[in-house]
Structure 1
Amino acid sequence: MPNPFLGVRIPPEIEQAIIDRMKQTGQSKSEIVIAALETYLDMPSCHQRLTEVEQRLSEVESALNTKKNEISETQSE
């Protein structure tokens, strides 16, 4: 099912800010507006969720490595 269409009128300065962001990031207008709405509506984007999962995975890996080192030290005593 395709995404619903939303047509809105925006002030020229907001349009220019969107165009500037498009040039900076290479994103489409839709991607920029969706990201802005997700932020405004406090809805984490896929990228934000992935970043959070990566951070949590890194913490788990760090804890696992600490435990591995503790076990190795205990076994070598």
Structure 2
Amino acid sequence: MPLRILTASFGGYALTAAATALLARLLPGSPLETAMAATILSFALFTGAVVWTFGAGRALVVAGWIWGLALLTGGLAWLSIQVGGPA
């Protein structure tokens, strides 16, 4: 149970923060509109990550997926900033 709680809270937050940053860079529109849209989507993403973490059969497998996706989206967000420059 502690692995699920840590994955849901910290892993879900890491995944949500990274995905929000990446979506804000990739969505079309003005910077304000894309930031707002990405932030609104982040609530659904975090909720989905938490539900997935507690609903999955094996805690270790879902922890690997959540943390792996957080690292992947964080890396892509960092790369998009390095290649594209500031928004």
TM-score after normalising by structure 2: 0.31
Higher Rg? 1
More contact order relative to length (CA 8 Å, sep ≥ 6)? 2
TM-score, with structure 1 as normaliser: 0.35
